[in-house]
Structure 1
Amino acid sequence: MMKKIGHLVLGVSESQIPFQYVDLCAGIGGFHLAMRSLGGKCVGAAEVNDSCVDAYRANFPTTPMLGDITSIDSPSDIPAFDLVCAGFPCQPFSKAGKQLGFEDESRGKLFFSILDIIDAHPETKGFIFENVRNLADNKSNWSVICEELKKRDFIITEDPLILSPSDFGIPQKRERVFILGIKKRDRDQRILPNSRITEGDLDLRKKPCENNAAFGILDKDVDESFAVAPDVEEALLAWDEFRFGTGIKTIGFPIWLSHFGIGIDRDSDFFESMGIAEMPNWKQNYLRHNRHFYHLHRDFVDDWVKRYHMYDRSKLLQKFEWNCGADVPDIKCGLIQIRQSGVRVKRPDLFPTLVAMPNTPIVWDEGMGHFRRITTKEAAKLQSFDPDYRFGESDNQTYRQLGNAVNVEIARQLGKGLLRLMRKE
């Protein structure tokens, strides 16, 4: 038997509770997949990126597309909804950007566009927002968000709710802040008597990742088109030889070839040529550590650099970080990412955060006999997307879209927890 509150229908099953929601800053539909699994019907999705819109339409063809939420003439024309889901743009708050926050004229104001839509829909009962963790680190931006939502009579997660797929047994370290809210009139006071929502109120089903869990999501018989370029593979194997050749199982600082000072005998001459006096303290430490390391292993390093033509390679391949300790025997047993900071190797427990940039994690494929990027299907597993989700034709585009997407399992658990806290009469 179902009971209806307005257009929110609550029944005896917590796994399928029919409700309506609007999907704002929707990306490729991570929130859509999560809410649909809970019985939700999407009354409209707003997204401006053309490739994301194409993917959204391909997978959810009956959902009306609302376009740019800043250009909706009459938000009240959007069909009635119970929940608002929104992954509003993270770039204004991300450490990878300029961190202009709400001062970002192009994207920082989208939060207020979301509020305009909520204001036009007094029937709104709750919301789930997602953003980068750094949003919660800026107390000024966080305070603005909390105050604006409480002004609208929402009980919210005032303490930042930081969650990662790795909290739910998914081998990806990807911390994001989630902001949830329920209108005071719509809460179940028996299970939410306080004036704020806590993680405990949501009854999330967490489970830890096991050791080496990252390799558990890898597919077999992967197409060789995912293999890295030969020069990249040669450089990765060269760095593995570097570790063994120097006899160092662990390296407690990043190795930067430019900081060795090859060909310069006097430390004072080298440090002066590098402008050490103008460097911040952390960079001075890196410089001194690298120079000392070079002195200890000079004969091997000079020969190694020459044999592998290391100074002729990309600057990204001239930097190396080993973050595995001594318990990972070689580079083939680790997870690799080539970043602006260089080649980084981590333990095979958790994949690094998928991001909307072309630095897809790299693994050694025993069957292929080569290093390869993880596939788009494997990346989709890390974001809990359905196996039959239809992405675009470009792999690079798919990696970027998944890097911007909300993790479906986290969104599902939060949606279920939020619905549990709502009145049922």
Structure 2
Amino acid sequence: MTEFEMLIQQTGWSVPEAAKVLGYSEGHVYRWKRGEEVPRDGVINLLRMQIDTHKSAQPEGAFTFIDLFAGIGGLRKAMDSAGGRCVFTSEWDAFAQKTYHANFPDNRPIAGDIREVDAADIPAHDVLVAGFPCQPFSIAGVSKKNALGRLHGFQDETQGTLFFDVLRILMHHRPAAFLLENVKNLKSHDKGRTFDVIRRKLTEELGYTLHTRIIDAANFVPQHRERIVMVGFRENTGFSYDDLVLSGRAGRGMRDVLHPEDGTEAPESHFTVGRDARVSDKYTLSDKLWQYLQGYAAKHKAAGNGFGFGLVDGDSISRTLSARYYKDGSEILVSRGPGNNPRRLTPRECARLMGYDDNFRIPVSDTQAYKQFGNSVAVPVFAEVARLMRPHILALTERPGLRKVG
């Protein structure tokens, strides 16, 4: 990545926006990004000034947190909403980094592979936040005497998995709390061994409390999406999921996220076009794909399987949006009425379905956007959990004699 491209990412500007502000053509900006030409020092200095302006505008925050396996920043938005201030971000995917930079104003460089980051180089923080991948742990050959309370004990069990990096950072910094997210079947993964290792490491070896709850995003957005939410504190603070406010599905439907196509919203990019901001025809399924999906569904229905496409209208609660949505969109297809082929969601509708507001910028291709929103958390779910966590975090970080981090 060229210095210019890195700086442009940190400003959050698109190529057209950069061209307008810098006073050069879009062609110049593209050539600078590709390293085919070198911009003048004045251009680089202007970008650095813009970045510094954003840095100085960042609020102080009631507590600090780090954002690991950050994706496009869904968990960060949740913690921000509770008054947190992010002091470190790690995300290895370059396209996700681009979206993250476009939406968050602190503009510090994003650390790539967390496995290559020394825990001592991560700033002190009050809360560790992570949506880590679900990976099996090998427990063969770990002796009982080494399994508890020793670094090499959990190294043997979790080394080579990304959860190990969560553990080593927790051990080094001892933050007041953590918030971890994973798929619903984490508890049953690898016949329950995966979650058993996670529970034991966090509680018996690191001494944190652990509270788990499976929450369906349909309580907040029109999407059935169950995820396990793990919250822990360095000391017992009285935290309880019983205080969680879940409103249920009543009155919620896909109409809340679909483009109205009646002129009440402005057209956006290539998602919607014309005075009425109608969804572009590019999102309508071809005859060939629609016929294939119907045939595939009929075949599996005849065999007694539940596989097939998911068709929604304004009153529906959708299936889970997945990272494979870019392939055919089959899990969530929007009905266009009898006799018409359905369409995929636009990336903006996917953003809404995950709880991102319309100010959230989408600077990547549709393919990348579908992957990113499919991999994201449903923001309102975790905003509610962060709201619940906040007084317990502050109880630990503001207690007399304890230093507040940050």
- Give the TM-score range, shorter chain: 0.5 to 0.7
Deviation by residue 1:35-82 (Cα, 9 ceiling, x = unmatched): 11222111111111111112112222523412211001x312211110
* TM-score relative to the length of structure 2: 0.65
The reply on whether 1:148 has 2:148 as its aligned counterpart is no
Cα gap change, 1:368/1:54 in structure 2, threshold over 3 Å: closer, same or farther?
farther
Structure 2 distance, partners of 1:369, 1:206, is 37
Residue of structure 1 in register with 2:279 after alignment = 222
Deviation at 1:231, TM superposition (A): 2.2
Residue of structure 2 in register with 1:118 after alignment = 170
Residue of structure 2 in register with 1:102 after alignment = 137
The reply on whether 1:400 has 2:371 as its aligned counterpart is yes
The reply on whether 1:163 has 2:199 as its aligned counterpart is no
The reply on whether 1:57 has 2:110 as its aligned counterpart is no
Residue of structure 2 in register with 1:354 after alignment = 321
Structure 2 distance, partners of 1:378, 1:69, is 31
Deviation at 1:372, TM superposition (A): 0.8
Where is the strand percentage greater, Structure 1 or Structure 2?
A: 1
Q: Is the 2:92–2:111 contact (alpha carbons within 8 Å) kept by the matching residues of 1?
A: no
Deviation by residue 1:124-166 (Cα, 9 ceiling, x = unmatched): 0001000111111232111111111112121111xx4101111
Deviation by residue 1:279-302 (Cα, 9 ceiling, x = unmatched): xxxxxxx3xx7xxxxxxxxxxxxx
Residue of structure 1 in register with 2:123 after alignment = 79
Where 2:75 maps in the other structure, the secondary structure is helix
The reply on whether 1:256 has 2:299 as its aligned counterpart is yes
Deviation at 1:19, TM superposition (A): 1.0
- Aligned AA for 2:110? M
Q: Is the 1:210–1:349 contact (alpha carbons within 8 Å) kept by the matching residues of 2?
A: no
Structure 2 distance, partners of 1:355, 1:369, is 25
Structure 1 distance, partners of 2:100, 2:61, is 23
Q: Is the 1:129–1:180 contact (alpha carbons within 8 Å) kept by the matching residues of 2?
A: yes
Deviation by residue 1:253-298 (Cα, 9 ceiling, x = unmatched): x7418x98xxxxxxxxxxxxxxxxxxxxxxxxx3xx7xxxxxxxxx
Structure 2 distance, partners of 1:382, 1:67, is 27
Q: Is the 1:171–1:351 contact (alpha carbons within 8 Å) kept by the matching residues of 2?
A: yes
1:124-135 map, 5 Å: 124-135=175-186
Residue of structure 2 in register with 1:176 after alignment = 227
Structure 2 distance, partners of 1:229, 1:131, is 35
Residue of structure 2 in register with 1:419 after alignment = 390
- Aligned AA for 2:113? D
Give the CA RMSD over aligned residues. Answer: 3.0
Cα gap change, 1:17/1:212 in structure 2, threshold over 3 Å: closer, same or farther?
closer
Cα gap change, 1:107/1:55 in structure 2, threshold over 3 Å: closer, same or farther?
farther
Q: Percent identity, aligned pairs only? A: 30
Deviation by residue 1:323-362 (Cα, 9 ceiling, x = unmatched): xxxxxxxxxxxxxxxxxx4435578531110111034211
Residue of structure 2 in register with 1:343 after alignment = 309
Deviation at 1:369, TM superposition (A): 5.3
Q: Is the 1:167–1:207 contact (alpha carbons within 8 Å) kept by the matching residues of 2?
A: yes
Structure 2 distance, partners of 1:401, 1:20, is 25
Structure 2 distance, partners of 1:373, 1:212, is 20
Structure 2 distance, partners of 1:110, 1:234, is 41
1:67 equivalent among 109, 112, 123 = 112
Deviation at 1:234, TM superposition (A): 5.0
Q: Is the 1:89–1:107 contact (alpha carbons within 8 Å) kept by the matching residues of 2?
A: no
The reply on whether 1:410 has 2:397 as its aligned counterpart is no
Structure ranking higher on relative contact order (CA contacts 8 Å, 6+ apart): 1
* TM-score relative to the length of structure 1: 0.63
Deviation by residue 1:222-242 (Cα, 9 ceiling, x = unmatched): 122211112234567x77xxx
Cα gap change, 1:344/1:405 in structure 2, threshold over 3 Å: closer, same or farther?
closer
Structure 2 distance, partners of 1:108, 1:392, is 33
- Aligned AA for 2:233? I
Structure 2 distance, partners of 1:368, 1:37, is 44
- Aligned AA for 2:172? A
Cα gap change, 1:108/1:175 in structure 2, threshold over 3 Å: closer, same or farther?
farther
Residue of structure 2 in register with 1:372 after alignment = 343
Cα gap change, 1:133/1:81 in structure 2, threshold over 3 Å: closer, same or farther?
same
Cα gap change, 1:59/1:212 in structure 2, threshold over 3 Å: closer, same or farther?
closer
